[in-house]
A and B are shown apart, each in its own frame.
Chain A
Amino acid sequence: MDLLIDSFISAIRLIVSMDAEMVAIVGVSLKVSCTSTALAGLIGVPLGFTIAFSEFVGKRMTITVLNTLLALPTVVIGLFVYAFISRRGIFGPFDLLYTQRAIIIGQAILIIPVVAAFTIAAISRIDERYRKTAMTLGANRLQTAWIVFREARFGIVAAMVAAFGRVISEVGISMMLGGNIKGFTRTMTTAMALEYDKGSFILAVALGIVLLGLSFGMNILFHFFQGRVHSQ
């Protein structure tokens, strides 16, 4: 118990003093997570929107596949991407392995289904009358789509927040594709795993507190946007 309390007090001191190593790790984590979330948004939102807005053969199956991909383990994605970007992989010549870009690619693959599935859910919740109203007011298909998108905006932002929450706390991809290189690819979760292995808890606890704080902030944001969706 003393170990935990001592570690906790020291961790708080570390956070207050803005320890350089801790700040660097948090910086890397935020950078890769924000980038992968933005990348997943660029792909997942239009993908989800197109699936939700269009009628095509196999739509239900596509949604089922996307929902299945939500449960994809991070280590499976790590392994999969590793096979492509390792020296012997087809993208080997690009030297992506053990770089932040590798983590970003892996994390984006992880959360594209999350963003797409949440976007589909957000669009599906939008009242059919918005589409009909836009059409009767003379809107073309693109303008009608924009109206539906606008009405679903809070749901889509909630999708992005949920996706960010997923990548900021994942460890498998960061470890397998980033390699936990200090000052370069060491993220909060990989640093915590390493500190645990070393039996050094202070930095791990400090990072845990920061991670929990970020997750808490993300959840507040998520519920705020979810609330806006339901109040529409």
Chain B
Amino acid sequence: MIYTVSDLIKKYGSRTVLDIPYLEVEKEQIYALLGANGAGKTTLLNILGLLEAPTAGRIQYCSRPVNYAESALQSLRKEVVLVDQHPILFTTTVFKNLEFGLKIRKINKKERYRIIDESLDLVGMREFSSAPAQHLSGGETQRVAIARALALSPKVFLCDEPTSSVDVENQNIIITILRRVNEIKKISVLFTTHDRSQAARLAHHTIVLNHGRLVPTMYENIFRGVLQTDPFGQPQCTIQDKIHLSLSGDQIKDKRKAVSVFIDPEMIRSVKLPGDQATQNELRGRVVQMIEENGNVRVVVDAGIWVALLISKKRYQEIRFMVGETIDLYIPPEAVHII
């Protein structure tokens, strides 16, 4: 393992932004860190990047406990490099930006020049070597920042939203770079993203954060809801005042009124409702997207809320609905989880 995180808590004032009981990150793998804004992705990245200390908990890096005292972090930081969501380049040339970290590592001049050329080649920015870094576009800046980090041959490369502020062309270039450095240089990569499909395409593993906690989902089918009691005294969760979902008995203990719920896409069933109206745990909506995913079909239905369900190809061939068609769904109480 490159990281083993136990009982990690990070607080800003009295607000807990991260609460992770246990997390392992394997060596030489690509991890996508998914979550909405404010989920704690950047904070976790900063902690793993040894730039911020946790409020409580233990972190092991390469099986060694991390001591967050400034003097102890110095050597570890030479193995872990983080590129910000909006990276900043020093106000000098692209070349000198890349040279900074190499000089710190006391790499000789000839070797420095070779590494810089190689790194700029990797991101397709070699012809910009002598250009003033401040004159580069957003996408170019991002690529140079990645080259600057990779020139240092880190063991771990952390990237905060690497493609969020660049155009599609640069997005593809950056994704290719991340994949190549992992495959060729065997660098462990952790990147944050909002984009579930990008995570699925690039990452070997996905970590999903919701309000600072790990959740066992693919960052979909998560809704804010209110816990209520139905007319028969049974617990239910109401989403957007219009969708009422019964809960399985073991979830009634939660004392919160406003909760986040996750609906397991594999447990949602496509059915034919007898009446015109959807009732408790039933939804009627229009198919807006269908994608093949690992031998299954992921169907996204707009039922007032966008709900994704995952069905087998065999089942799909039986039902055969089309995009734009209206379908009915049944969400069993066991599929609804409070997170």
User: How many of chain B's residues touch chain A, expressed as a range?
Assistant: 20 to 34
Given contacts A132-B84, A133-B84, contact A138 B101 (CB under 8 A): yes
A127–B148 alpha-carbon span in the complex (Å): 19
In the assembled complex, A150 has its CB within 8 A of some CB on chain B: yes
Closest CB in chain A relative to B96 CB, distance in Å: 10
Mask of A108-142 contacts with B, CB within 8 angstroms, 1/0: 00000000000000000001011011111111110
Are the C-beta atoms of A137 and B84 separated by less than 8 Å?
no
Residue numbers in B under 8 Å from A135 (CB-CB):
51, 77
Determine which of A133, A134, A141 lies in contact with B87 in the assembled complex, contact meaning CB atoms within 8 Å: A133
B49, B91, B148 — most chain A CB neighbours (10 Å): B91
Count of inter-chain pairs, beta carbons less than 8 A: 53
In the assembled complex, B179 has its CB within 8 A of some CB on chain A: no
Residue numbers in A under 8 Å from B149 (CB-CB):
136-137
Residue numbers in A under 8 Å from B100 (CB-CB):
134, 137, 139, 147
B82 to A, closest residue via Cβ? A136
User: How many of chain A's residues touch chain B, expressed as a range?
Assistant: 10 to 19
In the assembled complex, B110 has its CB within 8 A of some CB on chain A: no
Closest CB in chain B relative to A127 CB, distance in Å: 6
A151–B77 alpha-carbon span in the complex (Å): 22
Residue numbers in B under 8 Å from A147 (CB-CB):
90, 100
Are the C-beta atoms of A133 and B74 separated by less than 8 Å?
no
Closest CB in chain B relative to A117 CB, distance in Å: 23
In the assembled complex, A54 has its CB within 8 A of some CB on chain B: no
B76 to A, closest residue via Cβ? A138
In the assembled complex, A143 has its CB within 8 A of some CB on chain B: yes
Closest CB in chain A relative to B163 CB, distance in Å: 18
B81 to A, closest residue via Cβ? A136
Are the C-beta atoms of A151 and B90 separated by less than 8 Å?
yes
Residue numbers in A under 8 Å from B101 (CB-CB):
137-139
A150–B92 alpha-carbon span in the complex (Å): 10
Determine which of B70, B81, B88, B148 lies in contact with A129 in the assembled complex, contact meaning CB atoms within 8 Å: B88
Interface residues in B61-109 (C-beta closer than 8 Å to A): 70, 74, 77-78, 80-82, 84, 86-88, 90-91, 100-101, 104-105
B78, B88, B105 — most chain A CB neighbours (10 Å): B88
In the assembled complex, A232 has its CB within 8 A of some CB on chain B: yes
- Provide a sorted-by-A list of 11 A–B residue pairs whose CB atoms are within 8 angstroms: A130-B90, A133-B87, A133-B90, A135-B77, A136-B81, A137-B100, A137-B149, A138-B81, A139-B100, A143-B104, A147-B100
List the interface of chain A (C-beta within 8 A of B).
Answer: 127, 129-130, 132-141, 143, 147, 150-151, 232
Given contacts A129-B88, A232-B134, 16 further A-B contacts (CB under 8 A): A127-B88, A132-B51, A133-B84, A133-B87, A133-B90, A135-B77, A136-B49, A136-B149, A137-B101, A138-B74, A138-B81, A138-B101, A138-B104, A139-B101, A139-B104, A140-B74
